[in-house]
Amino acid sequence: MGISQIGIPGLIIILVIVLIIFGPKKLPEIGGAMGKTLSEFKKSTREIMDDGETAAKQENNKET
């Protein structure tokens, strides 16, 4: 069972727990921080993949 199989009820439970722990005033800050973290992770992953593709193309050019 992975994170992709949580479903709507599981997400609601997680949201309620986070709301109880941090309170309604901190929730937007936490959401913003999570969004920034996720976008930075995606950007870094994209850069790593691009670097790998560039290195592979250069290796192919050297062989031919």
pLDDT tens digit sequence for 36-53: 999 999 999 999 888 878
Query: What average pLDDT is seen over the chain?
Result: 83
64 pLDDT band, cuts 50/70/90, is low
- Number of separate domains in the chain: 1
pTM for the model stands at 0.55
59 pLDDT band, cuts 50/70/90, is confident
Mean pLDDT of 1-21: 81
CA within 13 Å, CB half, 3: 1
Return phi, psi of residue 26, to 5°. Answer: -85, -15
Flag whether pLDDT at 17 surpasses 70. Answer: yes
> Which residue range(s) make up the domain with 44?
3-63
